[in-house]
Structure 1
Amino acid sequence: MTEHTPQLTDRELRWFGAILAVALVVVFCLLLPLLYSREIPWWPVGIAALLVLLAATWPRSLAPMHRGWMRVGNVLGWINTRLLLGAVFFLLVVPLGALMRLLGRHGIARGRDASAASYRVPVTSKDPAKDLTRPF
């Protein structure tokens, strides 16, 4: 995980405050009331207005909130990476490997040939469309 967060400019902090305010209103005043058939809460609008006011007048006050937000994002990204890569490995790579093993196929040439001078496979055709010596 990244431990170093760069020094943010006032402009970047203003954008952070504005985007966070809009996201807060969209999630709590639009999406959740529509999904759960509830009435629209007005407290997110007040918090969003405070965020916009702070972003416009004193953006440095949002720096600790930005650092916390980025820490949470880094932790969630770390967890998601492990979950997604683990799922891809165990749901895609392992079954394909087991299937190939059951069928007796190998994706690579296996075994050692003591009499071979090299394991290099020479190119048989010189197709210019597939030759990447001079691609441009």
Structure 2
Amino acid sequence: MQSNKDIDNKGMDLKELRRFGFTLSIAIGLLFGLLIPFLRHKPYGIWPWIVAAILFMWALIMPSTLKNFYKVWMKIGMFLGRINTTILLIVVFFIVITPIGIVMKLFGYRPLDDKFDATANTYRKKSNQIPVERMEVPF
């Protein structure tokens, strides 16, 4: 995962900045020019296509001027990625892991076998002796 320092220190070449501008212009055109008006049953506007065309030409003619915008865009993306990761981990924990733990507790299943035994001298379990021939064909 990239950090903010990686974004600041990354040597961005013109090809990458140009690709960023092209991608952003296409995304703006498709999202605001087609998808949102279609979903909201609104008339298709011309302004998203004008913004997309300006950004496309800007990326084609002067991609180096997109460098600061690219850095800000990537930092926003990294921030939103951290928020999404946190939310997803919380959801997975409470929807998947916690119910599994509750069911295991209800049925008395203890996969670690970590019960305290006051009479035991040791908790060590002896391993089975593996025949030497088994090592010749490991899989």
TM-score when normalising by structure 1: 0.84
Q: Secondary structure at the match of 1:23?
A: helix
What's the CA shift string for 1:10-49, capped at 9, x where partnerless?
0000000000000000001110111111111111111111
By how many angstroms is 1:123 displaced? 7.1
1:38 pairs with 2:39? no
1:11 pairs with 2:15? yes
Query: Does 11-20 or 60-69 show the bigger shift?
Result: 60-69
What's the CA shift string for 1:82-113, capped at 9, x where partnerless?
00001100111111101111111112221356
RMSD over aligned Cα atoms? 2.5
Query: Does 109-118 or 92-101 show the bigger shift?
Result: 109-118
1:118 pairs with 2:124? yes
Q: Which aligned runs of 4 or more in structure 1 are off by greater than 2 angstroms?
A: 111-126
Bigger helix fraction: 2
1:27-66 paired onto structure 2 within 5 Å: 27-66=31-70
Which residue of the partner structure matches residue 94 of structure 1? 98
Unaligned stretches of 5+ residues in structure 2? none
Between the aligned partners of 2:92 and 2:99, the Cα distance in structure 1 is: 10
1:78 pairs with 2:79? no
Between the aligned partners of 1:56 and 1:104, the Cα distance in structure 2 is: 65
TM-score when normalising by structure 2: 0.82
Q: Percent identity?
A: 31
Unaligned stretches of 5+ residues in structure 1? none
Q: Partner amino acid for 1:122?
A: N
By how many angstroms is 1:78 displaced? 0.4
Q: Partner amino acid for 1:95?
A: P
By how many angstroms is 1:115 displaced? 2.6
The alpha-carbon distance between structure 1 residues 25 and 102, as it changes in their structure 2 partners (threshold 3 A), is: same
The alpha-carbon distance between structure 1 residues 117 and 95, as it changes in their structure 2 partners (threshold 3 A), is: closer
